[in-house]
Amino acid sequence: MKLTVVGGGSTYTPELVDGIAGRRTSLAVDEIVLVDPDADRLAVVGAFAQRLLAHAGHQARVTTTSSLEEGVDGASAVLLQLRVGGQAARASDETFPLACGCVGQETTGAGGLAKALRTVPVVLDIAERVRRLAGDDTWIVNFTNPVGIVTRALLQAGHRAVGLCNVAITFQRWTSELLGVTPDAVRLDHVGLNHLSWATGVHVDGVDRLPELITTHGEDLGTHIGLPASLMRRLGMVPSYYLKYFYDHDEVVARQKKEPPRAEVVSAVEKELLDLYRDTSVVTKPDALSQRGGAYYSEAAVQLVHALTGGTGAEQHVVNVRNGGTLPFLPDDAVVEVPAEVTRDGARPLPVAPVPPSISGLISHVTAYEYLALDAAVRGGRDRVADALLAHPLIGQRATAERLADELVARNRDHLAWA
């Protein structure tokens, strides 16, 4: 099987390759193609990926190319992990909203909209070429943020796509440690949107142990997600750590104004990682990679690719998928992040327990924003950008939305064909 990674020059890539190496008996990958426009990074990451595979005894070869056409031709699956504008654009996304008193984050609020506007047109162009060169049966697995908006763009355009985030698998691994069981023994009830989700159940041997987790390990959980245990007890569920941007917005903004943006930290980590990758004596995944973020990314990705391309039966994964009535208070074509049964035929969302109004209202609100964000990304226009910002629950003020829209367009003009 040929597996293609678009954005293959990312420092994340060895994490993915390490996951493939660990499943060589169940995931029959013959070739991993890394596609990236940055030739220098691509050469460094590609050479390290090949050493990593060889050290693990995996026979797959790593090919690097700047040509998308060459990379996707004949691929069984195409993985998208690109960052349009690089860390410089991310630093902008994380800082310009702060001047308006809004959170600076690359997937939430104005920063998330900026990233969507840069990313969606590029991803749709890539997907069309994948369809033409690799065929309609090729799966597109999207890790590119904002995952929900990008995945909906792909599905709306008729592509065979599934979105994936590491939030659910990270929570599963962490709770399994707290409960003293293997990760495979834990089944999550997980509901919401990408980067707007809640764990509503943690099942072990048919017993929901979430109440026990909140009671016994509430403080640990609170440290992990950045929110107090009292909130979890009141909700009866565990919000993902991205909910702190909503529940503690003003406190987060105050902290962000005093700290360097995450992009600066990541840039320093990436420099360290690339230096390690250049060292030909390094043949295993370095510990420093854990500082990059994306914990358990490789496990989630490899498991999903296996289910979509080589699985022998249905597997359950938390993915970003078309709603189709799963959450009845949302439109059918919304993209939700829920457990799904995944086979070669795709991801079918599993039934979800009724969602209480304590979270359904926020889910609906952000879904409406995502509709407007995608419309702005596809059709362009400064006023559509302002409309999307006005609809976002973390903005919602006309003057603020107008100011943010002007700043967003000015900062991203080189990436916006209509600007």
Please spell the DSSP secondary structure of 33-61, one letter per residue.
EEE-S-HHHHHHHHHHHHHHHHHHT---E
The catalytic site residues sit at 242
How far, in Å, CA of 105 to CA of 90, rounded? 8
How far, in Å, CA of 152 to CA of 333, rounded? 8
3-state secondary structure of 86: helix
Residue 40 has pLDDT above 70, yes or no: yes
* Digit-coded pLDDT (tens) for 270-303: 999 999 999 999 999 998 887 766 668 888 999 9
pTM: 0.96
3-state secondary structure of 126: helix
* Residue 22: predicted pLDDT: 87
Whether 400 is in a domain gets the answer: no
Whether 312 is in a domain gets the answer: no
Whether 82 is in a domain gets the answer: yes
* Digit-coded pLDDT (tens) for 354-408: 999 999 999 999 999 999 999 999 999 999 999 999 999 999 999 999 999 999 9
Of all residues in the chain, the percent with pLDDT exceeding 90 is 93
Q: Could you tell me the CATH number of the domain that includes residue 10?
A: 3.40.50.720
Residue 2 has pLDDT above 70, yes or no: yes
Neighbours of 133 (CB within 10 A): 17
Whether 327 is in a domain gets the answer: no
* DSSP code at position 326: S
* Residue 215: predicted pLDDT: 96
Average pLDDT, the chain: 96
> Alpha helices of 157-248 — where are they, by DSSP H?
167-179, 210-225, 229-235, 244-247
Per the listing, tokens 């059709």 go with: 379
Crossing angle for the helix pair 109-134 and 382-391, to the nearest 10 degrees: 120
Nearest C-alpha neighbor of 163 from the set 81, 251, 237, 75:
81
User: Which tokens in the block code for residue 75?
Assistant: 């691929």
* Residue 95: predicted pLDDT: 98
Whether 19 is in a domain gets the answer: yes
Whether 44 is in a domain gets the answer: yes
End-to-end CA distance of the chain: 41
User: Which residues are part of a known binding site for Mn(2+)?
Assistant: 165, 195
| Mean pLDDT to the nearest integer, 120-140 | 96
Whether 354 is in a domain gets the answer: no
Residue 19's domain comprises 2-93+105-165
Whether 344 is in a domain gets the answer: no
| Whether 147 contacts 167, CB under 8 Å | no
| Whether 304 contacts 319, CB under 8 Å | yes
Which value, to the nearest 10 degrees, does the dihedral of the CA atoms of residues 21, 175, 265, 49 take?
0
User: Which residues are part of a known binding site?
Assistant: 90, 145, 165, 195
Domain count, the chain: 1
| Mean pLDDT to the nearest integer, 316-341 | 98
How far, in Å, CA of 14 to CA of 363, rounded? 34
Indicate the range of 136-140, 243-247, 354-358 predicted with least confidence: 136-140
